[in-house]
A and B are shown apart, each in its own frame.
Chain A
Amino acid sequence: MLLREVEYARPATVEEAVAVLAAHEGARALAGGQTLINVMKQRAAAPEVLVDLADLDELREIGFSSDGMLEIGAMVTCAQLQGSSEVDVARPILAEVAGTIADVQVRNRGTIGGNVCVSDPTNHFPPLLVALDATFTIRGATGERTVSAGEFFLGVYMTAVGEGELLTKINVPASSGAGDGYAGLTIGAHGTYIVNSAATVTGDAARVAIGCVAASPVRATAMEERLAGGDYSETAVRASADGLGSSLDPPSDVHGSADFRRHLAEISAVRAVLQAAGRRR
């Protein structure tokens, strides 16, 4: 409940932030703090330097890129996503899912960048952004690079953001008629997910990503293959999920056995796809 001694820096620009992160080994970026501060309270992690991103206004913007993608700054909070007309127009599932994360207080501070950089397998955004085929822009001392969702999440608490680097924005394709769905089982209302699943469905293709079952979100590729063709009837969707569970090796814990998670993965994937299919325009 009490942090170890830590140094604190509050850069004014992204360049300064990257410089401080690069200059100090064991420096961590502090975004909303809704995970990092807790982890430091437990003394499970004790970075030597906290780099507070609070003053980096350029990371708080929501807009559109020149090629029509929704561009979301890494420091955009869940509350901002919920209140954004750009998100509402371009990809409302982001606001919908953001609105189920924990509670108002957490959403007022918690950021989409923080949520993905933590890469906790039970977090809300990772499987969603994989299903949406988002791209992630990372800035380091040597410049900027863009990474696909599939390459961003590397493992538990591990992402493509390396030492001395900062995630600056996440780009999400505008929906253009695609339907998005999200389903799963939580520990209590708006609690932590036991298994979650996100799906995006267009006329002839589906993307399905499952969380909580592996170190990073899993694409249900066999299911996607079976769904290519455009039959999103309940029977077809249920059939497409056959074997999904047995292809996974999920953890067992107090909230569910591996078998239960395998089963929930199939159920969530089916529900997410059905919801997505029903929302196509």
Chain B
Amino acid sequence: MMTTVTEQGRTLEKGFVGQSIPRKEDKRLVQGQGTFFDDVRRHGMGYVHFVRSPYAHAKIVSIDVSKALELEGVYGTITGDEVAIHTDPFFEMSVEPGGNIKDYALAVGRVRHMGEPVAAVCAATRELARDAAELIEVEYDELAVLVDAQEALKDEVVLHDDAGSNVVWSGVFDWGDVDAALAEADHVVKIDKLHFHRFSSTPLECAGALVEYDKGTGEWTLTCNHQMPGVGAIWMAPALRTGIDKLRFVTHDIGGGFGNKICLHPQYVVLCLMARKLGRPVQWTEWRTDQHTANAHGNERWFLDVEVGVMKDGTMTGFKVKALDDCGAFPRYEPLGCIIWAQVTPGMYGWRNIRVDFTQVCTNKSPVSPNRGYSRMQHLWLTERIIDIVAGELGLDPVEIRKKNYVKTEQMPYETPNGCVYDSGDYSAALDIALELIDAGSIEERRKDAAARGKLLGLGIGSTLDSGTNNFGQSTLLNPELQFSGNNEAASVKLDIFGEVVVTLGTVPQGQGHETTAAQVVADILGCSPDQVNVRRGHDTWFNSHAGFSGTYASQFAFTGLGAVKGAAELVRDEMIQLAAAVLQAPPEAIELSEGFARIKDGPPEAALPFMALGAIINANNAFLPPEFNPTLNHRYVCRPYFGMVDTEKKTGQLTLTYATQIHAAVVEIDPDTGEVDVVDYAAVDDCGVRINPQIVEGQVHGATAHALGAALHEDFVYDEDGTLLTANFYDYHVPHAMDMPPLKTGAMESPSPVAPLGAKGMGEGGGGGIHCICSAIQDALRPAGGAIVYDSCNPAHRVWSMLRNPESTRANVSVTSK
């Protein structure tokens, strides 16, 4: 039985919070003085290159490293056999059969995707490591390749003998009574097949680490770019048969993460073994081709046999779907994807009867990891496809049907059929802003104008949610044995002897401006300026300012990260006030912190202590303080959001705490002769509650939009039947460049979150609104040219052309039964 927390979160009075202060991070970054892990050198270090499988599925017959070891300058190698001896398999999240998979840091006996690391070689220079890798001889016996999720279900080619099946996990989520809803509906719309494609955010900096091993203490230091070290350590420590504290993660500047730097533990374990074996620091930088081929893709998901119940007046009453998720060769973090979509089960809509039959399978493709929008984006795409297809088939206006079915602002906080609580938002109002920004009123005129130029014009809407602050208890819906629940983040704030304010974060920023926003929050609480607040760069587990779930992911920094900062700052503030009260001999209520001073409110100017005085007293001149009064001016705080427990039987619970709204609208022009889609107008409206730094929020909206546009029109990880990735570099995997971006307008609303410490919701992921709205716009544009129905989330020219040439095959996918 779960309880919902409804107490109002306090919103800080806006001082620096709410201002678009230029970032503190920029000064070093614009001068090329950022420290990214590959910039770091150690005396005597070696460079590592991974030998990777050229086959998607094969037995490893033999590995011969002898020729490599003969090359001068080569320090050593590691192979799968050694990994199997010196480490234990990584812990698996899922229940059987997926839970029986054995996943090691290098391929042991068998390779299961092209590019899977098979051996590692370390040498004095990068070039030598690369040369030596060519001398390592690996013999393979090819096995049949599996690249289709639906084929995987047949279990004819099984990737993991220990599991005995390609199914990682499967379960049925059933809330309300969807069969009754469908029976009672005036219309039932059936959609046979929708496909959300494989792509990823491809951060510009590739993964990597510089690893040092201290023989005396058995400690490893990883100078790296892992964006979720807490989880990384949980995987690595047991595998290395060591304690968590023996793994020190140090990050400095990170060149983008977007979820693609969460599952780096296999390569990092190899580096740990190598550093220990060779007795020297070792470094590995991932190549771009390897990032595309073998790091992490976003979830690929099929939505099959969708049925939607709709009443005469356009109210959608419920839907059911079979979801088939393709997690690639190793599930790793991915089984959580089987559950996490349930944070947004009904999307933005009020239907109460939903059944999702979810299965996740392995295939011989790159493993999947929580790419930006992780699992919720796929599900929200489904709900947006549904509403557009329903609107199209029943002749209903896409704007009106959305507004009719949206959860209304007066219903907030709104409990969804599975117990999640949408905290705040006004979807209709946000939609209106988006439509206004692209001048939706003039669409029909623009359509005629485009037609005169031989182009097909379409307007699309993509409404989406960015659910933030994960309840790890949702993992028990995946596997009731897992001992995870809740969430946490830590931070510490201290006042140094000279009055400097120093903040240490548990998060791992990769460009989100945490140093700046944390400084804004602290400045407001302590009554100084953000310039006086020094936020240490990056994450270091030795600072002990991290908690079990520390990292930057799941759109939660504004809640948990800043919540921790706020908590620590308030503890320091309270002590500063008490200390000043004792020194100035006034009651604490009479003391205020302002402009870098602690002073008596409305008191004489001399009744003021600079922060330096307070710092000096505590650290160097404290004898006069009474024994029972022991302020430290140095506090660590753990923000622990409250979720209540999850019900594993009904599969209900508060799976997340905040819901930022993003509504996107686009106008596209399609060249009917080539299928090329030109985005001619675009608007994105974001509502993430209180915006700590509006410019930073807007920057995230821009970035999420660019990712979504790239995915919607070009970015696709496509495999051939041999399991070869056909889009392994930036020529074939085209990401948006400056000339690809449409004119982008943004709007913002602030519906403060009643549950977040600062009223601010996480919003960094975005929810893929761009993908939803481009699909919507294309479908609208194609209406007068055959009325094809968009069935895939990626629509490059060749697909659009096919839809123009053969719209019937897409329409055959959809049927309506009406009473």
Q: List A residues at the B interface (Cβ < 8 Å).
A: 1-5, 42-43, 103, 185, 187-192, 194, 253-257, 260, 263-264, 267
Contacts and interface: CB of A to CB of B under 8 A. Distances in A.
Contacts of A255: 732, 796, 798
Interface of A is mostly: loop
Interface stretch (B23-31, B126-134, B580-588, B634-642): B126-134
11 contacts: A2-B127, A2-B130, A5-B131, A103-B737, A185-B797, A188-B714, A188-B736, A188-B740, A253-B726, A254-B732, A267-B674
B726 A185 contact: no
Nearest to B719: A254
Interface string B608-637: 000000000000000000000000000000
B386 to A, nearest CB: 29
B796 A263 contact: no
A76 B153 CA distance: 57
B796 A4 contact: no
A208 B801 CA distance: 24
A96 to B, nearest CB: 16
A278 to B, nearest CB: 16
B680 to A, nearest CB: 14
Contacts of B288: 1
Interface in B118-164: 126-127, 130-131, 134
A150 B734 CA distance: 32
Contact of B798 (A188, A191, A257): A257
Contact of A254 (B676, B726, B740, B802): B726
Interface in B276-331: 287-289
Nearest to B739: A189
Interface of B: 126-127, 130-131, 134, 287-289, 673-674, 676, 714, 716, 718, 726-727, 731-732, 734, 736-737, 739-740, 796-798, 801-802
A38 to B, nearest CB: 9
A185 B676 contact: yes
B731 A254 contact: no
B737 A254 contact: no
B674 A185 contact: yes
Contacts of B802: 260
Contact of A260 (B287, B731, B798): B798
A187 B675 CA distance: 12
Contact of A263 (B714, B731, B734, B801): B801
A241 to B, nearest CB: 12
B740 A189 contact: yes
Nearest to B735: A188
Given A1-B287, A1-B288, A185-B676, 6 more contacts: A103-B737, A188-B737, A253-B726, A255-B798, A260-B802, A263-B801
A276 to B, nearest CB: 18
A177 to B, nearest CB: 29
Contacts of A188: 714, 734, 736-737, 740
Contacts of A253: 726
A187 B673 contact: no
Contacts of B676: 185
A187 B731 contact: yes
A4 B288 CA distance: 18
A264 B674 contact: yes
A93 B127 CA distance: 42
Given A187-B714, A188-B734, A254-B727, A2 B740 contact: no
A-B pairs, top 5 by smallest CB distance, nearest first, are A189-B739, A188-B734, A254-B726, A2-B130, A256-B798
Contact of B126 (A2, A4, A187): A2
A40 to B, nearest CB: 12
A187 B287 contact: no
Contacts of A42: 289
A1 B734 CA distance: 19
B726 A260 contact: no
A120 to B, nearest CB: 11
A42 B130 CA distance: 11
Contacts of A192: 731-732
A260 B801 contact: yes
A5 B734 CA distance: 31
Nearest to A260: B798
A1 B206 CA distance: 13
Nearest to A103: B737
A4 B126 CA distance: 11
B202 to A, nearest CB: 14
Given A185-B676, A187-B734, A254 B127 contact: no
A267 B805 CA distance: 15
Contact of B131 (A1, A4, A260, A267): A4
A43 B131 CA distance: 10
Contacts of B714: 187-188
Which among A5, A254, A264 has the highest number of chain B CB atoms within 10 Å? A254
